[in-house]
Amino acid sequence: MAYPTAVNSQITDAVSQAGTNVLGNAPAVAMGNLYQATAQALALAAHNATNSQQQAYVTAQAATTMGVATLYSIDTASSGHATAAILTGRVRGL
């Protein structure tokens, strides 16, 4: 203490030590905040990747369903005739 004051020296020492404690803890708190922010960002990236994958699966399932529905809607007699003609080499117009 540089000069005497009206405040008890124990109080000024406690305040001084509290300030020193805050300054000493600042780097650890900053690193903790950095680790927390990094963990949050990585978790959000993983969540976004999972969501994108799920949406891709839904799109693929919809495309498969439409493909199967299209196959079922084709007239089988004409398809059979055309397939037989192609396989036996009796295709006209080539």
In a domain, 1, yes or no: no
The radius of gyration computed from the CA coordinates of the chain, to the nearest angstrom, equals 38
* DSSP sequence for the chain: --S--SS-HHHHHHHHHHHHHHHHHHHHHHHHHHHHHHHHHHHHHHHHHHHHHHHHHHHHHHHHHHHHHHHHHS-HHHHHHHHHHHHHT--TT-
**Tens-place pLDDT, residues 49-84:** 999 999 999 999 999 999 999 888 877 777 778 888
Q: What is the pLDDT of residue 93?
A: 56
pLDDT recorded at residue 64: 95
Domain that holds residue 71: 9-88
Instruction: Let me know if residue 52 belongs to a domain.
Output: yes
45 within a domain of the structure (yes/no) = yes
Q: Residue 4 domain-assigned?
A: no
Please determine, for residue 43, whether its predicted confidence score (pLDDT) is greater than 80: yes
Let me know if residue 94 belongs to a domain. no
Structural domain tally of the chain? 1
Question: Quick one: pLDDT at residue 92?
Answer: 66
